């Protein structure tokens, strides 16, 4: 099986490669259109800022390429956000694969407990509905680190509650995405990557 991790100007791409290596799977990190199109699985990871990464994708014609992919694609963190329609981060038009919008967390003045921004650390999910979550349950924890979130809607495949219920995962057709980092979420995270590979 050929797995390609999309190379672009976002951080922490290698972490996903390392996580796959721990599963005994090798991946190619590439921005080459041919390589990406011919892959069996495509992973679109990333930590970074929406407008600059989106500009980079457009400049390298990766935006249309990603949108047209037919094989299973997994967006992670910023990857998920860029697959939505619009992000408040830099007022950015995104890929529009999922009909959701990306908004900035706002701390509420009368918060009962002091919730910090970024949402950083281990949180659990509910309303899991995707083959990505095979053998995963609502007691399992996943590692999040983000200041922006995707709203919930028809494509929401898991919800996380932090300040507001948001899409912790999205799925539409062959497109899958997680706001959390499966590559950094211990054994449960590894299971998500394994589920994606075995789709």
Where in the sequence numbering do the catalytic residues fall?
Answer: 77, 181, 183
- The secondary element (H helix, E strand) that includes residue 149 is strand 148-150
Residue with tokens 């007022």: 91
Among residues 3, 4, 6, 19, which is the contact residue for other proteins, using CB under 8 A?
A: 19
Considering only residues 25-64, where is the footprint of other proteins by CB under 8 A? Answer: 47-49
- The secondary element (H helix, E strand) that includes residue 138 is none
Among residues 1, 26, 131, 161, which is the contact residue for other proteins, using CB under 8 A?
A: 161
Rank residues 100 and 183 by Cβ distance to other proteins and give the closer one.
183
Buried b / exposed e over 164-173, threshold 16 CB at 10 Å, is eebbbbbbee
Distance between CA atoms of 75 and 82, rounded to whole angstroms?
A: 8
* Helix boundaries (H) for 8-150: 13-22, 33-37, 50-59, 62-67, 78-82
122 near other proteins, judged by CB under 8 A:
yes
* Torsion angle of C-alpha atoms 89, 95, 100, 104, degrees rounded to 10: -10
What is the closest distance, in whole angstroms, from the C-beta atom of residue 34 to other proteins in the complex? 26
What is the closest distance, in whole angstroms, from the C-beta atom of residue 161 to other proteins in the complex? 5
- Span interacting with other proteins, options 16-24, 28-36, 129-137, 150-158, rule CB under 8 A: 16-24
Among residues 107, 131, 135, 198, which is the contact residue for other proteins, using CB under 8 A?
A: 107
Joined together, the tokens standing for residue 185 give 């979420």
Among residues 118, 134, 135, 153, which is the contact residue for other proteins, using CB under 8 A?
A: 118
Among residues 9, 51, 85, 123, which is the contact residue for other proteins, using CB under 8 A?
A: 123
| DSSP designation for 36 | H
Note the residues at the interface with other proteins (CB under 8 A): 11-12, 14-15, 18-19, 21-22, 47-49, 107, 112-124, 141, 143, 145-147, 161-162, 181, 183-187, 189-190
């Amino acid at each position: 099986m050929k797995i390609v991790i999309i190379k672009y100007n976002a951080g922490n791409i290698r972490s996903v490669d390392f996580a796959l290596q721990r599963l005994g799977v090798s991946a190619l990190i590439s921005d080459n259109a041919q390589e990406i199109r011919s892959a069996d699985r495509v992973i679109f990871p990333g930590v970074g800022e929406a407008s600059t990464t989106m500009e980079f994708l457009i400049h390298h014609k990766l935006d249309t390429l990603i949108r047209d992919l037919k094989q299973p694609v997994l967006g992670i963190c910023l990857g998920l956000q860029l697959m939505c329609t619009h992000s408040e981060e830099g007022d950015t038009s995104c890929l529009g694969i999922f009909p959701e919008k990306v908004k900035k967390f706002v701390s509420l003045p009368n918060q009962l407990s002091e919730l910090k921004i970024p949402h950083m650390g281990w949180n659990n999910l509910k309303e899991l509905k995707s083959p990505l979550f095979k053998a995963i349950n609502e007691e399992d924890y996943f590692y999040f680190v983000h200041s922006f979130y995707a709203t919930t809607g028809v494509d929401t495949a898991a919800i996380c509650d932090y300040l507001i219920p948001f899409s912790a995962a999205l799925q539409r057709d062959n497109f899958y995405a997680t706001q959390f980092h499966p590559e950094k979420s211990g054994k449960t995270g590894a299971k998500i990557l394994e589920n994606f590979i075995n789709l």
